[in-house]
Amino acid sequence: MTAELKACQQQALAIATDFRCCENIRAQHGLPTLIEQLILHFPMRELSHVKHLKTIVKGIRMSQENRDWLGIADYLDYELQDLLQHYL
Sequence spans of domains, the chain: 3-87
Residue 1 has pLDDT above 90, yes or no: no
Per-residue pLDDT at 50:
92
24 within 8 A of 85, measured Cβ to Cβ: no
Task: Write out pLDDT tens, residues 32-58.
Answer: 999 999 999 998 888 999 999 999 999
What is the Cα–Cα distance from 85 to 82, expressed in whole angstroms?
A: 5
What is the Cα–Cα distance from 65 to 26, expressed in whole angstroms?
A: 17
What's the pTM?
0.91
Angle between helices 24-41 and 47-65 (to 10 degrees): 160
